[in-house]
Amino acid sequence: MSNLILNSERLNNVLENKIISNADVLQIYQEARTDSSELFLAAQNLRKKFKGKTITFSKKAFFNVINMCKDTCTYCTYKAEPGEEKLSMMSKQQIKQMLSLAKKYRCVEALFVTGERPEQRYQEARDWLAENDFKSTAEYLTHASEWALEEGLFPHTNAGNLTYDEMKDLQKTNVSMGLMLENSSERLSMKGMPHYLAPSKRPKSRLEVLENSGKLKIPMTTGILLGIGETPEEIIESIFAIKKLHEKYGNIQEVILQNFQPKLDTAMSNFPSTEENYFKIIVSLTRIIMPEMNIQIPPNLSPKSYQSFLSVGINDWGGISPLTPDYVNPEFSWPKIKNIAKNSKKVGFDLKCRFPIYPEFFSFISKELREKISFIEDEEGLVKEEYWR
């Protein structure tokens, strides 16, 4: 029972751990559009209750393994075509060099990112795989993950819609994996909408991958993209879709809420950035829908105001790299880790470094992976401060 009493009956119910319906959340959303103070207070209260005054991040190196992609999203600049300057097709040697550099920088996470099955669309991707002696991108990732572990880094793979068997294979070396749901609405895949030419972004396909991750007991990071033309109802339904999966399998370790930022040379370049108050309301709603969840916003996408999100319910900054850019949002560089620590401290939070897996999910991974973590782990299951600072 919370000792905070609000005017909103619905929010009081949330604070008393009562079940909250989709319709209740929509009503809370409508009220918050006029005055969001009570919602923010409730979210803050729940975050404090379940997460205390700690804000975590993962110190990572971003491996842009291959950025060709068989899909086309109207807001994406990550994808590269053959011959483009930004094309990345990392060789074994490049991956190994980057791993040893990441180790020097005391990174903890090796984030492996690829486009969606590039070999299905591009001869260049097939040639690249052949040159490196691999049959598929997924097989390459399995080996890259092994090299990361040998170097003392922990792999987290985000390679689109992997199959059950591919995930099962990667599970041996990856402490966690990621796949953004983005949105559970079919409408966003219709003609003229952002996911029309991206079959892998169809909610049914995405939810199936997340479902498989649950069956395999893989700690999974997922999330939602805000500001791409969705309705409040669609956003709320998407958060409930994630909650439902988590209630069934218990393997969703974190929810990322990512604000859309328009990019030049894309079909959505004239779309406005996600409005900040709307973004904060959705962050708070996510906290009240899933009070115990780890909730993250990327600080580089709100460079001037990220610390203000600490008062609306988040408890994580996601992966931050001292070494590599954010290849998905290259125009937004990571804030320096020491500045994030300073800005978090100013508003009363302690920055701590976590593994790409949260401590409450350690029981999901193999004995071997658990043992590797223990070498640089503190008593809270986070990374020893003297290691990452």
Could you report the per-residue pLDDT of 285-309, keeping only the tens digit for each? 999 999 999 999 999 999 999 999 9
d(CA 129, CA 137): 7
d(CA 90, CA 96): 10
- The pLDDT of residue 2 is 57
d(CA 238, CA 78): 24
Q: Fill in the amino acid letter for 96.
A: K
Q: What percent of the chain has pLDDT over 70?
A: 99
- The pLDDT of residue 322 is 93
Whether 185 shows a pLDDT value over 80: the answer reads: no
d(CA 353, CA 148): 18
143: closest CA among 95, 179, 178?
A: 95
Whether 1 shows a pLDDT value over 50: the answer reads: no
- The pLDDT of residue 335 is 93
229: left (phi over 0), alpha (psi -120 to 50) or beta: left
Mean pLDDT of the chain: 93
Range with the poorest average pLDDT among 141-145, 177-181, 213-217, 271-275 = 271-275
- The pLDDT of residue 33 is 94
Whether 248 shows a pLDDT value over 60: the answer reads: yes
| Vertex 122: Cα angle to 90 and 102 (nearest 5) | 15
d(CA 179, CA 329): 17
DSSP state of 189: G
Whether 11 shows a pLDDT value over 70: the answer reads: yes
Half-sphere exposure at residue 313, Cβ-oriented, CA atoms within 13 angstroms: 30
DSSP labels for 304-347? TTGGGGGGTT--EEEEE-SSS--TTSTTSPPPPHHHHHHHHHHT
Whether 137 shows a pLDDT value over 50: the answer reads: yes
Structure tokens that stand for 14 in this block: 């949330």
210: closest CA among 260, 244, 258, 169?
A: 244
d(CA 369, CA 118): 29
What's the rounded mean pLDDT across residues 34-49?
96
153: left (phi over 0), alpha (psi -120 to 50) or beta: beta
Give phi and psi for 330, each to the nearest 5: -60, -20
Q: What percent of the chain has pLDDT over 90?
A: 77
What's the rounded mean pLDDT across residues 191-209?
82
Model confidence at 102, pLDDT cuts 50, 70, 90, reads very high
SS3 250: coil
d(CA 206, CA 369): 27
Greater model confidence, 267 or 26: 26
SS3 60: strand
d(CA 89, CA 140): 12
Identify the sign of the CA torsion 124, 120, 208, 163: negative
Rg (CA), the chain: 20
CATH 3.40.50.1860 fits 21-388, yes or no: no
Do 210 and 245 form a contact (C-beta atoms < 8 A)? yes
Range with the poorest average pLDDT among 73-77, 200-204, 278-282, 382-386 = 73-77
DSSP state of 61: E
- The pLDDT of residue 57 is 98
Do 212 and 167 form a contact (C-beta atoms < 8 A)? yes
- The pLDDT of residue 196 is 64
pLDDT digits (tens, 9 = 90+) for 328-352: 888 889 999 999 999 999 999 999 9
Identify the sign of the CA torsion 82, 62, 363, 220: negative
Do 109 and 59 form a contact (C-beta atoms < 8 A)? yes
Model confidence at 241, pLDDT cuts 50, 70, 90, reads very high
Q: Which residues contact 97 (CB under 8 A, 6 or more apart)?
A: none
- The pLDDT of residue 329 is 85
pTM across the whole model: 0.94
Structure tokens that stand for 144 in this block: 């890259």
- The pLDDT of residue 103 is 96
d(CA 153, CA 60): 9
